[in-house]
Copies of this chain bind each other. A is one copy, B any other.
């Protein structure tokens, strides 16, 4: 797939100087690495990835919004029924035709973004949210009754949680479901405009039912948010959605910044009645007389348990963001490996973009971060499958899963947007043309940063968990610096693996005078781990201390204290996500069998670790973790690593496993190299036959 021209001999020669001169230049085993990256469900992922090369599922940029919506619905029908493997049913019970395999389901689902993000999201609404709510919040009887239609798409559904007035703050939704014991019905009602259900996929056109989240009120008591199965539109003779049912009304959200194939809209309910049996009753039920019962006594814990069962959305967005980052970078790197602009080393040969230091700086750290994102996501997927397959379903595991999903989703869905923007700009004007795909991906992925939980809100959830655990930890065991540090590392890594890494923890790292040794020191994985973990520990500890007075303060003062520490709180969560990703990458390195690949991937990991440290260098300096002298070496060492990675750049993006039919970007198809070869041949022929005009400049020189 790759022309050899992108691996310049001069650079390969120059980078093997110094300490590495003795070793032969390593090569990446692209096929082997690619296989490793397929993860725990390689066949399912391959199946889904192959399907993404079928033009039937590709995004068609020429369609109008209405046409795009219909196309995506048709694609979903194919996924539901024409695919004999029924990959989209994998998460559902075997007794209903599913596979009881939540992890494999997501592994496939994530690859849909390659075909068309609108297809991924509309499919996600149907099977990942609407049907999932029935699966996770319904009783077995309700699953048997309601899931088949949701699974085979005979009932396209909306997931009516968010309201105009309340996005991430689900506990405050204002829609009410008041029980009427006379008729044994719930009355679903939208009391004011801010309570309209909003941004619901499928709601504008296709949904005939919805899982509606509302405050359950019975016998004058509000038992908090519960989910109800509510038919919203007639189903016409040909199985399409018809008119709204009585009491239901809606609005079309119309055009959006992307995802035009998803028919987002609003829904409102004017005293709409549903049978008592259509409260999804797994965590709370109402008897005929209106008596409320729940297996979970605490209303708060019940709410979080219900919401937690829907974590799958966040998990899958993390995977989709990782995939989209790969697509963007693969396009930009392939183009950058062929595109030439300006002459530098040679008067006749223009320089390949990737041979410019600024270009490497723009793209290579993002390749490294994408690998980190990938490996962290793999661990998240494992944990998700452990919990939802029932294999290791404990409250602690669920809580870990939710925290990890929030941390990674918030990080990767922000990262992908910055990455696609950088890729777009790195491809110049060509990056702006739709046929080169990058802007299209950016537009579609944009909303991933705020749906399934606004990223800033998610990071606060993560930080609160960290601070809470820290407080528990202080009460429980030792509160020595090393104990706190171990606690932090345990949060982010398999505890068993890395106890030894903490030996020098909690003290500022001593500085060696020799910058060469300093670089060697920074390359050491344990140094990186210590620096990253120490930062998390210190930030969490600082915030925990700063927030302590809030516990006994009046609400206004407490809010003010919280406000003053909110930025730091979010920063602690980001640092935690960084450590998580770095740790996952480092663990994954151990699985790389091929020595050359492992060597290159270790450089990639180092680039990730050191750019994290570089990004927060001021913190390390201010807090005495790095001396000015050592800090100075971080940037130059990163630059050296980026140069060393230059010959491997295309291999590193190829290993992600996306070929021309996945990338579908003209500039990544080799046309640029063809055009340049043609141009160079033209000039070479001119030089050979003496037909080239002489330049005025050289004429002047020769005359003077």
Q: What is A's interface to B at a CB cutoff of 8 Å?
A: 10, 14, 61-62, 64, 162, 164-169, 172, 174, 191-195, 198-199, 215, 217, 220-224, 253-258, 292, 299-300, 341-347, 350-351, 355-358, 361-362, 417, 421, 424-425, 428-429, 431-435, 438-440, 442-443, 446-447, 449-451, 454-456, 460, 555-556, 558-560, 562-567, 570, 614, 617-618, 621-624, 628, 631-632, 639, 675-676, 678-679, 682, 693-697, 699-700
Chain B, residue nearest A616 (CB): B618
Cα A174 to Cα B676 with chains together (Å): 12
Q: Are A361 and B443 within 8 A (Cβ)?
A: no
Q: Which of B172, B438, B440, B454 contacts A428 (CB 8 A)?
A: B454
Q: Are A221 and B361 within 8 A (Cβ)?
A: no
Chain B, residue nearest A429 (CB): B199
Chain B, residue nearest A255 (CB): B434
CB distance from A181 to the nearest CB of B (A): 15
Q: Are B449 and A566 within 8 A (Cβ)?
A: no
Q: Are A631 and B639 within 8 A (Cβ)?
A: no
Q: Are B224 and A696 within 8 A (Cβ)?
A: yes
Cα A631 to Cα B450 with chains together (Å): 33
Given contacts A357-B567, A566-B358, A694-B221, contact A682 B255 (CB under 8 A): no
Given contacts A341-B168, A696-B299, contact A628 B624 (CB under 8 A): yes
CB distance from A291 to the nearest CB of B (A): 13
Copies in the complex: 2
CB distance from A5 to the nearest CB of B (A): 15
Q: Which of B62, B167, B345 contacts A429 (CB 8 A)?
A: B167
CB distance from A299 to the nearest CB of B (A): 5
Q: Are B446 and A679 within 8 A (Cβ)?
A: no
Chain B, residue nearest A342 (CB): B169
Could you list some 8 contacts between A and B, CB below 8 A? Answer: A165-B676, A217-B693, A256-B434, A357-B564, A421-B421, A425-B455, A429-B451, A618-B618
Q: Are A191 and B682 within 8 A (Cβ)?
A: yes
Q: Are B621 and A439 within 8 A (Cβ)?
A: no
Q: Which of B14, B443, B675 contacts A194 (CB 8 A)?
A: B675
Q: Are B442 and A425 within 8 A (Cβ)?
A: no
Closest A-B pairs by Cβ, 8 of them: A257-B439, A617-B618, A345-B559, A255-B434, A344-B559, A222-B693, A357-B566, A194-B675
Cα A693 to Cα B455 with chains together (Å): 33
Q: Are A344 and B562 within 8 A (Cβ)?
A: yes
Q: Are A699 and B221 within 8 A (Cβ)?
A: yes
Chain B, residue nearest A198 (CB): B429
Chain B, residue nearest A563 (CB): B357
Given contacts A257-B443, A456-B358, A695-B222, contact A450 B428 (CB under 8 A): yes
Write out the residue numbers on chain B whose beta carbons fall within 8 Å of the beta carbon of A341.
166-169
Q: Are B566 and A165 within 8 A (Cβ)?
A: no
Q: Are B679 and A165 within 8 A (Cβ)?
A: yes
Q: Which of B162, B194, B435 contacts A254 (CB 8 A)?
A: B435
CB distance from A172 to the nearest CB of B (A): 7
Chain B, residue nearest A224 (CB): B696
Given contacts A61-B255, A357-B563, A639-B567, contact A220 B417 (CB under 8 A): no
Q: Are A442 and B617 within 8 A (Cβ)?
A: no
Cα A424 to Cα B556 with chains together (Å): 30
CB distance from A93 to the nearest CB of B (A): 31
Chain B, residue nearest A627 (CB): B622
Q: Are A560 and B192 within 8 A (Cβ)?
A: no
Cα A676 to Cα B163 with chains together (Å): 12
Q: Are A258 and B622 within 8 A (Cβ)?
A: no
Chain B, residue nearest A344 (CB): B559
* Given A192-B675, A425-B450, 18 other A-B residues pairs in contact with their CB atoms under 8 A: A61-B255, A165-B675, A167-B428, A167-B429, A168-B428, A174-B679, A199-B429, A220-B694, A254-B434, A256-B432, A256-B439, A292-B696, A356-B566, A421-B421, A428-B454, A439-B446, A617-B621, A623-B628
Write out the residue numbers on chain B whose beta carbons fall within 8 Å of the beta carbon of A362.
456
Cα A345 to Cα B550 with chains together (Å): 11
Q: Are B358 and A221 within 8 A (Cβ)?
A: no
Write out the residue numbers on chain B whose beta carbons fall within 8 Å of the beta carbon of A440.
257
Q: Are A628 and B632 within 8 A (Cβ)?
A: no
Q: Are B678 and A194 within 8 A (Cβ)?
A: yes
Q: Are B559 and A696 within 8 A (Cβ)?
A: no
Q: Are B696 and A221 within 8 A (Cβ)?
A: yes
Write out the residue numbers on chain B whose beta carbons fall within 8 Å of the beta carbon of A164.
675
Write out the residue numbers on chain B whose beta carbons fall within 8 Å of the beta carbon of A614.
618
Write out the residue numbers on chain B whose beta carbons fall within 8 Å of the beta carbon of A61.
255
Q: Which of B555, B639, B694 contacts A345 (CB 8 A)?
A: B555
Chain B, residue nearest A294 (CB): B696
Write out the residue numbers on chain B whose beta carbons fall within 8 Å of the beta carbon of A167.
341, 428-429
Given contacts A64-B64, A166-B341, A222-B696, contact A356 B563 (CB under 8 A): yes
Chain B, residue nearest A223 (CB): B696
Cα A174 to Cα B447 with chains together (Å): 42
Q: Which of B342, B450, B622 contacts A432 (CB 8 A)?
A: B450
Q: Which of B174, B221, B421 contacts A695 (CB 8 A)?
A: B221
Chain B, residue nearest A455 (CB): B425
Q: Are A300 and B624 within 8 A (Cβ)?
A: no
Q: Which of B215, B622, B679 contacts A632 (CB 8 A)?
A: B622
